[in-house]
Amino acid sequence: MLENKKKEQMKFIYPETLISPDEIEIYGKEEKELIPETNPFEMAKKQIDIVAKEMCLNDNIKKFLKRVERSLIVSIPIKMDDGDLEIFEGYRVQHSTLRGPGKGGIRFAPNVNLDEVKALATWMTWKCSLLCLPLGGAKGGICVDPKKLSKNELERLTRRYTTEIINVIGPDIDIPAPDVNTDPQIMAWIMDTYSMHKGRAIPGVVTGKPIEIGGSVGRETATGMGLFFVLEALCTKMNIDLKTQSIVVQGFGNVGGNIAQILYDKGCKIIAVSDISGGLYSNRGLNIKELLEWRDGKNYLKDFQNKDYNYISNEDMLMLRCDILIPAAMENQITKVNANNLKCKVVLEGANGPTTPEADDILKKKGIIVVPDILANAGGVCVSYFEYIQDIHSYFWKLERINHELKNILVNTFENVYILSKEKNVTLRIASYMIAIARLAKAIELRGIFP
């Protein structure tokens, strides 16, 4: 019994920084065995059920939205540098293209699986619909540990994967983007491979590209900037000064690192941050600039030396007493096991699906405000949309316009969600889903079912 309870309570964190099998050996085999088995796609479908009941949604529409339009599984044979052949498995899923081309990232990680990709594609559908972008939801991934590949092997993997999914992507079909362990260089390889097959340069096939080949300024920091705009809007509603709030950030990759830096630069007190190795905590606040420089040197936070900072595990960090908790790592971080122990006032979801439906109920009863992922972290897809339309028109915007348009869309969306949550006496998550699903339901009604 005690052993089973321990296994239920333990939780291994998968932040944006990759965890490799070697690193699991370093941090202990026990954690590997205790990775939570929550199926993210089942979680996504359960969220639909909860909102459908609140909306009295037609059963046929609910049934429609709980299925993905297309799932593609591909084998990716790669000749390694030593001459051996390795075969990897890749995925591209389109949950919905009812309101426009699919949109969603590609992640390279050893734990990627089809159900995870289905869930992420589903959440992208809600996100695009909530922001009223003319896009649908999609996602992709390869089950691989990219840290074990040379740059040449990584390029061959990316190009072969692109070739395998080439018939289901394109500017008017499905537009990929970076995600966990993918970056502008990988997007550049995808764009080049696609363009070579089509016989002309097609920058609009992916977003998150280098600026030199059609990328957009502001894309790299877009998710973090969007988190800030939404948090700022929430603080205005709550009549609190953001600078007086203590903040904990789980995950120190692109999203976590950027929101931590933005808040730090605005004069906020970040009391804890974490990566795969664990976290650092100081009640007096951390020097985020110093820690980012350490991270960018490919170092782990656990190895950072400062007598004023205390090491803290990822599990314990979620339980710190703070005003604002920002889970910016991976899905299924706040569950029914640990939700009762949270001591924050606000959860701002930087990651996709970090809170399970069971945990949502607990947090609601505790009076903790949860700003859902499809609203909080939507800055990334929003600026990806800007990049997409800039590519189509071959006319590029300045950073001031990017941030102005981003803030305008996110703040207006937050306002609509906030008003609906008060009118219906529901959480911000339920209100967000109600708006997103209502738009999709209307699209189904108007388009009808073919044939």
Domain locations in the chain as residue ranges: 69-205, 222-374
Query: Block means of pLDDT (10 residues each) for the chain, length 451 residues?
Result: 40 32 32 53 93 94 96 98 98 97 97 96 97 98 96 98 98 95 96 98 97 96 97 97 96 94 96 94 96 93 93 92 94 93 97 94 97 97 97 96 98 98 97 97 94 90
Contact 439, 129 (CB under 8 A): yes
- What pLDDT, on the 0 to 100 scale, is given for residue 342? 97
Q: Do domains 69-205 and 222-374 have the same CATH topology?
A: yes
Residue 445 Cα distances to 427, 438, 442, angstroms: 27, 10, 5
Q: Which CATH architecture has domain 69-205?
A: 3-Layer(aba) Sandwich (3.40)
Verify cis geometry, omega within 30 degrees of 0, for the bond prior to 451: yes
Buried b / exposed e over 58-70, threshold 16 CB at 10 Å, is: eeebbebbbebbe
Check residue 12 and give its pLDDT: 31
Is residue 139 flagged as an active site residue? yes
* Residue 81 near residue 126, CB atoms below 8 Å: no
pLDDT given at position 1 = 41
φ, ψ for residue 397 (rounded to 5)? -90, 160
Read off the pTM.
Answer: 0.88
CA-to-CA distance for 88 and 144, rounded, in angstroms?
7
The active-site residue out of 139, 209, 269, 407 is 139
What CATH number does the domain located at 222-374 have? 3.40.50.720
